[in-house]
Structure 1
Amino acid sequence: MKRNRPDLAKRRFERQFSYFSARLPVMERLRKPGSTIARISIGILLIIGGLLAILPVLNVWMIPLGLLILAIDLPLLQGPVTRLIIFGRRKIGNLRRLWFRRGA
């Protein structure tokens, strides 16, 4: 039986969300149904903070996290955000392997 494309995209999104929520427990609290306004405002603030990456505390890591939080309420973003996060995680993993191989 063929799987629906939306089901596959939803499962990929859920896997990426669980990856981040394992590292940031507050993400699970944001998933509650009544916190839509909080999710949208936190997502937008994270994206804006990520764009201000020249400051020491704020950095580029905030952009995908903000998009991931916004994608909870905007299903249209789930596919592109999931692909962006998977792409970024693969690139970071490749860079880490190269870095540690070079240092050995």
Structure 2
Amino acid sequence: MDPATGRLALGNWHLPLPRSRAGRVTVGSVLLVGGTLGFLPILGFWMVPVGLLVLSHDLPYVRRKRRRFSVWWERRRLRQRD
């Protein structure tokens, strides 16, 4: 999350987020719940990873898991290039 703009940056894509911690936790939780109902027409399974990303900025447990995953992913990507 970019602290200057209050947006979650994913490559070239930017998602505006609430500046309050409670607002971000609420948005992340709603995205997770909506993602579990991904079989419905409007909702989708894409909401689960986005919800985890939003929550990872405020919840230490989710942040550690996100960081561990990103380190694993980068190491895997580098091994495949060699």
Structure 1 residues 53 and 68: CA distance shift in structure 2, 3 A: same
For this pair of structures, how many residues does the alignment match?
Answer: 65
Report the Cα offset of residue 24 of structure 1. 3.4
Aligned pairs for 1:19-98 within 5 A: 19=10, 22-27=12-17, 30=18, 32=19, 35-82=20-67, 83=69
Task: State the 1:71 CA deviation.
Answer: 1.0
Give structure 1 regions of 4+ aligned residues with deviation exceeding 4 angstroms: none
State the percentage of identical aligned residues.
31
How far 1:80 sits from its partner (Å)?
A: 1.7
SS in 2 for 1:24: strand
Structure 2: which 5+ residue stretches go unaligned?
Answer: 1-7, 74-82
Larger Rg: 1
Q: SS state of the match for residue 39, structure 2? A: coil
Q: Runs of 5+ in structure 1 lacking a partner?
A: 1-16, 88-104
Deviation at 1:47, TM superposition (A): 0.3
Quote the Cα distance in structure 2 between the aligned partners of 1:26 and 1:39: 10
Relative to its length, the structure with more strand (as a share) is: 2
Name the structure where helix makes up a greater proportion of residues. 1
TM-score of the aligned structures, taking structure 1 as reference length: 0.51
TM-score (structure 2 length as normaliser): 0.63
